[in-house]
Structure 1
């Protein structure tokens, strides 16, 4: 149980680092007419959607595997993956440090890597 709490705290930390636009009505589908700030916001929304999907697949996997021998390696890998994801996307965004596009680069990377990890976790769901 402590392991799940630690994982939730790590995920929450990333979520808190992203800007909140709860009442924004940006039309992300109209990418040709967005400001840089709006594009950054839309990339953040894309990442949030990818993270929500990952968390749903993670919960299903946890429910199927439960605690125990077959779960422990998955949990360990997920913790390592979170550290990798964060470090990797920081390195991808680093060349844009101080630029207005850096949040878009970071959020896009987070979304892409998260979608890849979600597919990997889905593979675990298909195993016996």
Structure 2
């Protein structure tokens, strides 16, 4: 199990840095790279929050499922933060920390965005999708 978690963390960190290099690749100093990565994460976080609100709205008549959504999202936020704290721990306190941390947050948030988008595409009668279809 420990090997699996380390492997997942390394893959996430590697893919996060590769993603950040695509987004912020033209920048040449650490400060600008940190700012760029932070803005990329803020953009993803705003998209995540908008999608979450759409799902909440669809669940307005189902308090029990809405509670499960809230619990799942809180658990996901704890996971995201813990994972990024872990994966960026080797640069903690250094000038690259904001870049590595923001890039990790952005990458994991983008993955969650895809999950939420999937919930918003549920069709009427889809029994393994907890979000009702749009009216």
Once the two structures are superposed, the pairs formed by residues 25-64 of structure 1 within 5 Å of their partners are 31-64=25-58
- Distance change >3 Å, CA 30–CA 83, structure 1 → 2: closer
Give unmatched runs, 5+ long, in structure 1.
1-28
Aligned length: 101
Counterpart Cα distance in 1 of 2:28 and 2:115: 33
Q: Which deviates more, 84-93 or 68-77?
A: 68-77
Counterpart Cα distance in 2 of 1:75 and 1:30: 33
Counterpart Cα distance in 2 of 1:69 and 1:30: 42
Give unmatched runs, 5+ long, in structure 2.
1-22, 123-131
Counterpart Cα distance in 2 of 1:39 and 1:46: 10
Q: Among residues 91, 97, 107, which one is paired with 1:102 in the alignment?
A: 97
Moved over 2 A (4+): 29-34
Match of 2:19 in 1: none
User: Is the Cα–Cα contact under 8 Å of residues 27 and 33 in structure 2 kept in the other structure?
Assistant: no
User: Is the Cα–Cα contact under 8 Å of residues 41 and 102 in structure 2 kept in the other structure?
Assistant: yes
Superposition TM-score, scaled by structure 2 size: 0.69
Q: Deviations over 1:27-64 (max 9, x none)?
A: xx773343100000000000000000001101111111
Counterpart Cα distance in 1 of 2:94 and 2:45: 25
- RMSD across aligned C-alpha pairs, in angstroms? 1.8
Q: For the pair shown, which has the larger CA radius of gyration, 1 or 2?
A: 2
| 1:99 Cα offset (Å) | 1.8
Counterpart Cα distance in 2 of 1:30 and 1:70: 39
User: Is the Cα–Cα contact under 8 Å of residues 24 and 37 in structure 2 kept in the other structure?
Assistant: no
